[in-house]
Amino acid sequence: MNRFDRLTAILIHLQSKKLVLAQEIADRFDVSLRTVYRDVRSLEQAGVPVIGEKGLGYSIMEGYRLPPVMFTEEEVIAFLMAEKILENHADLQNSERFKGAMFKVKAVLRNAQKKVLEEMEENIAVKHKVSEHNHLLNDTLPLVIKAIGEKNTLHIQYATDKGVNERDIEPIGIFQENGTWNAIAFCRTSKKYHPFRTERMLSVKDTGKPFQQTHISLSEYLADRPKDNGQSFPVVINVHNNMARYLTEQKYNYGFEQEEAGPTHTRMTFEAPCIQAFSRWYITFADQADIITPVSLKTLVKSRLQEMLEKVS
């Protein structure tokens, strides 16, 4: 990236947040802090009202705006892909909001870019299995997001294996994993942070009551989150390469850690949160794989296969 392009990108970056640290800019553009300071001075000399100084961070004076930003063709296509993904993997409310934002983006595109977008729209698709829980997602996710932003406590009815219970939670963030949206929240009953699956929230009510304490961030929670039930089971299996290619996404549901591809087989290592669930999954491709460790998994798989044989005999 040449210096002119970097200065333009830095200006857009400064307008995207209330306060931007110099180190954040340095990390994004892979330059030294000294270069960042020099670039910011260049923007100031060009008439951009930059507020701040070295060590404290920078911001743009309120009210200052650039003319409509010009997007590259690659960025336009990336917006389209994001729209397709959100349409199938987010709640209806946020999906519609993004579509509204996309109309604003399209309004500032050049005619040639609009043509590219119209042509590509028919050539990009995101398939998603319709779930009976989609209506729950539409009802709960917007409320959870709103509570996170306003730092308000939610009262929820939550379905567990032991039945339905009610509790007050202070949500700190949401994340999607393996096709499921989870809300991370501080539970006032247990006095601990827990993940709550949105499809298990039977009802959600914003109490209007503010959080009772300051919480960690979502990124901090995810970096240190414990394994399910506080334990995991190390598993190593060899899978024939012809089968391994079909496990690309499934394996992440069972504690996948790493893999090493060989000439004919791929060795996969897992930290399985539930050995029972792992054994049932393994049986679906057992004729194309071998269990290296643990022995207890071999025993469990043999037992389950024997039960299956007895049922069909």
pLDDT of residue 92: 81
Using one digit for the tens of pLDDT, what is the confidence trace for 186-195? 999 999 999 9
C-alpha torsion angle, residues 270, 271, 273, 276 (rounded to 10): 50
Tokens linked to 119: 């042509």
Structural domain boundaries enclosing 111: 73-121
The CATH number of the domain where 214 resides is what?
Answer: 2.30.30
Q: Are residues 236 and 217 part of one domain?
A: no
The CATH number of the domain where 45 resides is what?
Answer: 1.10.10.10
Q: Are residues 216 and 148 part of one domain?
A: yes
As to burial, measured by CB atoms within 10 angstroms (0-12 exposed, 13-18 middle, 19+ buried), residue 236 is middle
Q: Are residues 43 and 30 part of one domain?
A: yes
Q: Are residues 94 and 53 part of one domain?
A: no
Domains of the chain: total: 4
Using one digit for the tens of pLDDT, what is the confidence trace for 184-242? 999 999 999 999 988 889 999 999 999 999 999 999 988 876 555 456 799 999 999 99
Q: Are residues 263 and 220 part of one domain?
A: no
Using one digit for the tens of pLDDT, what is the confidence trace for 110-137? 888 888 888 888 788 877 654 544 566 7
Q: Are residues 239 and 189 part of one domain?
A: no
Q: Are residues 208 and 288 part of one domain?
A: no
The closest of 7, 69, 74, 15 to 38, measured between CA atoms, is 7
Domain C-terminal end among 11, 29, 60: 60
65 found inside a domain:
no
Task: Kindly tell me if the per-residue pLDDT of 280 is higher than 80.
Answer: yes
Domain C-terminal end among 225, 253, 284: 225
Tokens linked to 150: 């306003």
Banded pLDDT at 66 (limits 50, 70, 90) = low
User: What is the C-alpha to C-alpha distance for residues 137 and 82, in angstroms, rounded to an integer?
Assistant: 19
The CATH number of the domain where 300 resides is what?
Answer: 3.30.70
